[in-house]
Amino acid sequence: MASTLILLTIGLPWAGAVLVWLDGNRRPRLQNTLAVTFSLAAGAAALALIAFPSSQTSFRLPVGGIFGDFTFLADGLGILLAVIATGIGSLAVIFSIDYMRGEAELGRYYSLILFFIGAMAGLVLTSSLLLMFIFWEITALCSYALISFHNDDPKAVRGGIKALIITQVGGLGLLGGALLAFSSLGSYEISELLKNAHTLPQAALAWMAFGFLAAAAAKSAQFPFHTWLPDAMEAPSPVSALIHAATMVNAGVYLLARFYPAFEGVPGWKTAVVLVGVVSALMAAVMALFADDLKRLLAYSTVSQLGYMVYAIGVGGIFASQFHLLSHAVFKALLFLAAGAVIHAAGTRALGEMGGLGSAMPRVRIVFITGALALAGIPVLNGFWSKELILENGLEHGPVWGYTLMLLTAGLTAAYIFRGVWMVFYGSRRNTHPLHDAQPAMQVALWPLAVASVLTGLLSGPLGKLFAATLPFHDLEALTTRAILIDILEAPATWLATGVVVMGLAAWWFRKELAPVFRFFLWLGSPARNSFGFEDFNRAVVRSTQAVADLLRHTQTGYLTMNVAGILIGLVIILAILAWGG
Amino acid sequence: MLANALFWMITIPLAASPVSYLAGRLTTLRAASIPGRASPARWLALLTLLAAWIPYITAVRMVLASGSQTIVWGTVHFRVDGLGLVLSGVSLALGALVVAFSGPYLAGMEGEDKFYGLLTAMIGAMLGLGFSNDLFNLWVWFEVMTVSSFLLVAFHWQQPAALEAGVKYLVQSAVGSALVLMGIALVFLETGVLNLDQIRATAQPSSLLAAAGALFVIGFGVKAALVPMHTWLPDAHSQAPSGISAMLSGVVIEAGLVAMLRALGPLAGTHSGWPHLLMSFGAVNMLVGNLMALRQTQVKRLLAYSSLSHVGYMLLGIGIAVGFQSAQAAGGALFHVVNHALMKGLAFLAAGTLLYVLRSGHGSHHPLMTEDLSGASRRYPWIALALSIAVLGLGGLPPLAGFMSKWQIFAAGFQTQDGLVQALVIFGALNSVLSLGYYAPLVNILYRREAAPLVGGGLRAPLSMQLPVMLLAVLVIAIGIWPPLVNGLVVSGSRAVLALFGF
Amino acid sequence: MTLSMPSILLVGIFSLFGVGLYGLLAVRNLIKVIVALQVVVKAVLLALVLAGNLRGQVPLAQSLGLTVLVADTVVAVIGLALAVQVRRCLGTLDLHALASLRR
């Protein structure tokens, strides 16, 4: 049963992708229907999987040779992410009905999104390192194609290729790690690696651990690979919500969580993970504070929140990180879709050109504020529970410097999102574009997410039980929801953090009074807008590669004599090498 | 039985060559050519290439069942093994598709019959080359293949650019052949025999044999597009008719590689440096190919440089195989030979279709520029999709064929547990990422909404061009999803390669 | 120094090879390049003959030599045909005129 459901979860979106493409953009309504149907069906299959969790491989396709077997497994970690991918995927597709109305190339859009959903589900439901890498690459391909969906816009194309190259370079870490595992253990099975990690030579395990960390950092847009996510905002908003908030960027966190038992013993690894998480969270929060573009603000926020998840893993709080993954997927998707509605109505992405939109778009305002409250970590909403759990774990098991900086970041988070909400929905209107509230299909997507932002905290108990039952290597304990929630409420760390959050909100509210203090920090503005120098580094790498390529082109002189000389030079070189080596 | 299969496999295309040429010429002489009327030369060529599949499949079945065999016809020695079967399979498959493809391209053109005649001769020679078991035989087939390709490259010899490409190709190929011949002379001098098996048996480490090996690598390396012997490649590929570009990149280069392996195999045991030498050439090819392709604005030139980097992967695989007796590495290299032939063939045929509908169909001899492709997917959705599939597959993205063969080479490299080899593998993977830097923009350009004016005025894509393209695209996806499709052939070939080097 | 056949041939091989290589690298006329190519191949032919002689495989060397001769002639013919066309098309046989395809 589980194997059928797994195949459906992956296969239904793919079937839908092919069908939507075949229509050839002749019947948009049919394409909409097909896309929604297949993504919802996949969501149903994923939800059904909750009833069949297992820690054993449920499906094996023998390929043989150096490709091992294609195996699939539905354990707690996989089911969680598969449900998120298909669930939020369906909502994003539904949202797209209104958002992409009038788009000429709907077929390409939907088929890429569906192809992505299937691949993401596959990534988390497989237990073969090779298949995981394959799905990893497919998601990168879809992400690139969707970012540069509007191929006529050079910024979009640049953003897409940048995302592709950066995540692919990081992916080399996964490639190397997977191959090291295969050559040391003779198998691609994840369970093999988790079981036998301690038998591997230290050097190999260390390479694997840091390679996986690099791959995860690149995929999740963490320091030092964070520059691609803001530029990926050229994608249509449903794509940003699905891929760059709720699913694909979580793949890195998923990778770290899944392989944590194998790598936790590698000296320096956990510290490195904590470092990556903390730096990303803090740096991105500062960048969000200075953001001028609504989607870029949300992008930086995503990097920052992913930093929380990575930090959680670094201090050993696997459950906390995945709980926050769930909360974040819900409220960030909500924020992106709501932002999409705002951008669709206001005709601009610039915060400076918005303002006072709340009265014309009350529904959007409510759901956006719900998401914002969840992000800031205001009690009762899901972000509160999961963020506090992470901070609690961090205080107990992690370094103090890490905890302090994450606490500070929580305050900054509240500040920047409050600023965002204010600049969009309140104040005076700076925009004369004719406005409309969210359209019907958009609302169908937005309201469930808003409700979920309030309620998913209640899932903590069942989720914990699912994890403890199906993840034998992770050493987790299962508590009831009640126990978890009470535990969070009672921890002193929680109230400390809530205090900081309130301070962050107050900082924005009283910004005029606090202006002299802020002027001190204005120097941060310019480096923040330039990604603290990482953009320059990227540009330098690209430019130098192109310069070398241009130089090399001079070797193709076009003169026959030079070409023949090349042949003879080759002969001399090879003779010299043979003579010297012999 | 196998001897019969071999005989027919080689003879059918070779015999068909003059026959189809004559049939075409006589028809042209007899009746005033009706424009658009398919030349009998084309149909004869297509039929013979399809007919040659029958003995080929028989041979494959027999070799997979009972292993390789040596066949002797008088003084000519053949070895029917997996390596030759891989090369022959790719030649026949791509050849048939190219003949079908070139129909509308060449219809009514002067020299059309010559084209089909020379193409079938070239294919027949490649079949012979793949199975040669002595140096004399090898060189003769190599020469026949090379000579038939000269006028195919310089087919549009009224155009100065094509003429220039043809002249450079001829001179450089001839230099390569001369170097190979010198190598043969040295081997002959040292051992007194030309039969590969006998050479392997009697070879002793000696400087003459090392020099001979060097001459083989360089001489055949001209044809196999090793750096720095590659300079003819971009010119020849961009100026030749698109079907010939597909053949050159897809099969002729690989034939050069196979010939090099056949010649080098018996000698490799005499010097310890060969594996690392091959791997180094592979690494250099990868990097140079990718860097040169990065800044190209002509589509076919870009694809030609990309072929350089793919030869690099094949060499890496072979180097690992020879250095560490790895059957998986040899298998990976041969798998990549097959995949590259399919993907590069697809890329050139798809690009050739676009070249035809946008430029040459109107009579223009201007090369196809990347900007010409702007918005081509609006008018030619299937061709654009096929080109995207080819190009992304070449970049090593799953679920396409290129990923699987590269993975096999990489995995085999890591299995050697040698630090240097593992570093080279990462270097190879990094090169794959680099190649996306010029493949991805092509896809982006194809899917623009604003169509270039050239696209607006483009002709309808002929069916005989679309069908081969579609077929290749399906194959590339199928092999990418399910690599075992070509497993039997590749495994047999890997065993043959290892046997060639004495393992 | 004994003026034996092998040493004469050796001298011949080296000098022809050298002349041919010089021709390939130093001349600017296409016909001269093709001639230089021919010279190189004749040097190799001599090497084959020498090898066959020294190894007692004269018939094999002869057949190989004849085949090489034929193949090389074909190459020369095609090369010269292309050269004629170059002269017709570009008006010159200078190699520098054949350098428009570059980078």
B172 vs C: CB within 8 A = no
Contact between B440 and A144 (Cβ < 8 Å): yes
C16 vs B: CB within 8 A = no
Note the pTM of the prediction, 2 decimals. Answer: 0.94
Scanning the structure block, which residue is given the tokens 């996964």? A174
pLDDT of residue A261: 92
Helix axes B112-131, B82-106, angle to 10 degrees: 170
Shortest CA gap C81–chain B (Å): 10
pLDDT digits (tens, 9 = 90+) for A283-301: 999 999 888 899 999 999 9
C97 vs A: CB within 8 A = no
Percentage with pLDDT > 70 across chain C: 97
- What is the residue range of C23's domain? 5-90
Number of domains in chain C: 1
Residue of chain A whose alpha carbon sits nearest to that of C99: A558
Residue of chain A whose alpha carbon sits nearest to that of C97: A559
Please state, rounded to an integer, the average pLDDT across all residues of chain C: 90
pLDDT of residue C1: 52
C36 vs A: CB within 8 A = no
Hey, which chains touch C, using 3+ CB pairs under 8 Å?
A, B
Omega within 30 of 0 (cis) for the link into B228: yes
User: Could you say which residues of chain B have pLDDT below 70?
Assistant: 30-38
B272 vs A: CB within 8 A = yes
Task: Verify whether the Cβ–Cβ distance B291 to A571 is below 8 Å.
Answer: no
Q: Which two tokens stand for residue B321?
A: 């195989």
Task: Verify whether the Cβ–Cβ distance B294 to A562 is below 8 Å.
Answer: no
Contact between A52 and A74 (Cβ < 8 Å): yes
Across A224-357, the runs of DSSP E, i.e. the strands, are none
CA distance B293 to A31: 38
C41 vs B: CB within 8 A = yes
The DSSP symbol for B158 reads T
Task: Verify whether the Cβ–Cβ distance C100 to B192 is below 8 Å.
Answer: no
Number of other residues whose CB lies within 10 A of the CB of residue A283? 24
Task: Verify whether the Cβ–Cβ distance A570 to B218 is below 8 Å.
Answer: yes
pLDDT digits (tens, 9 = 90+) for A176-193: 999 999 999 988 999 889
Task: Verify whether the Cβ–Cβ distance C103 to A556 is below 8 Å.
Answer: yes
pLDDT of residue B240: 93
Please state, rounded to an integer, the average pLDDT across all residues of chain A: 89
B window 142-201, beta carbon within 8 A of A: 167-168, 171-172, 175-176, 179
C98 vs A: CB within 8 A = yes
What string of DSSP letters covers A324-392?
HHHHHHHHHHHHHHHHHHHHHHHS--BGGG--STTTT-HHHHHHHHHHHHHHHT-TTSHHHHHHHHHHH
Q: How much is the average pLDDT of A51-64? A: 84
- The answer to whether position C100 is within a domain reads no
Shortest CA gap B61–chain C (Å): 34
Enumerate residues 6+ apart whose C-beta is below 8 A from A179.
B410, B411, B413, B414, B422, B425
Residue of chain A whose alpha carbon sits nearest to that of C96: A559
Above 80 in pLDDT, residue A519?
A: no
Hey, which chains touch B, using 3+ CB pairs under 8 Å?
A, C
Shortest CA gap A570–chain B (Å): 6
- At A44, the pLDDT band (50, 70, 90 cuts) reads very high
B22 vs A: CB within 8 A = no
Across B421-479, the runs of DSSP E, i.e. the strands, are none
pLDDT of residue B46: 92
Task: Verify whether the Cβ–Cβ distance B179 to A164 is below 8 Å.
Answer: no
Provide the CB-side half-sphere exposure for B307 (13 A, CA).
37
pLDDT of residue B3: 87
Number of other residues whose CB lies within 10 A of the CB of residue C67? 14
Percentage with pLDDT > 90 across chain C: 56
In this complex, which of C24, C28, C99 lies closest to A558 when CB atoms are compared? C99
- At A525, the pLDDT band (50, 70, 90 cuts) reads confident
Q: Give the residue, C7 or C62, on which the prediction is more confident.
A: C62
pLDDT digits (tens, 9 = 90+) for A214-263: 999 999 999 899 999 999 999 999 999 998 888 999 999 999 999 999 99
In this complex, which of A554, A556, A565 lies closest to C25 when CB atoms are compared? A565
Q: What is the largest CA-CA distance in chain C?
A: 53
* 3-state secondary structure (DSSP) of residue B341: helix
Task: Verify whether the Cβ–Cβ distance A568 to C21 is below 8 Å.
Answer: yes
pLDDT of residue A352: 85
Residue of chain A whose alpha carbon sits nearest to that of C28: A561
Chain centroid, CA B16 distance in Å: 22
In this complex, which of B172, B273, B398 lies closest to A578 when CB atoms are compared? B273
We report the CATH number of the domain holding residue C78 as 1.10.287.3510
Name the helix (H) or strand (E) containing A55. none
Q: Please count the residue pairs, one from chain A and one from chain B, whose beta carbons lie less than 8 angstroms apart.
A: 182
Range name among A88-97, A407-416, A461-470 with the lowest pLDDT average: A461-470
In this complex, which of B291, B429, B449 lies closest to A151 when CB atoms are compared? B449
Task: Verify whether the Cβ–Cβ distance C103 to A553 is below 8 Å.
Answer: yes
Task: Verify whether the Cβ–Cβ distance B449 to A104 is below 8 Å.
Answer: yes
C71 vs B: CB within 8 A = yes
Percentage with pLDDT > 90 across chain A: 55
Task: Verify whether the Cβ–Cβ distance A549 to B294 is below 8 Å.
Answer: yes
- The answer to whether position C98 is within a domain reads no
pLDDT digits (tens, 9 = 90+) for A119-155: 999 999 999 999 999 999 999 999 999 999 999 999 9
Number of other residues whose CB lies within 10 A of the CB of residue A191? 17
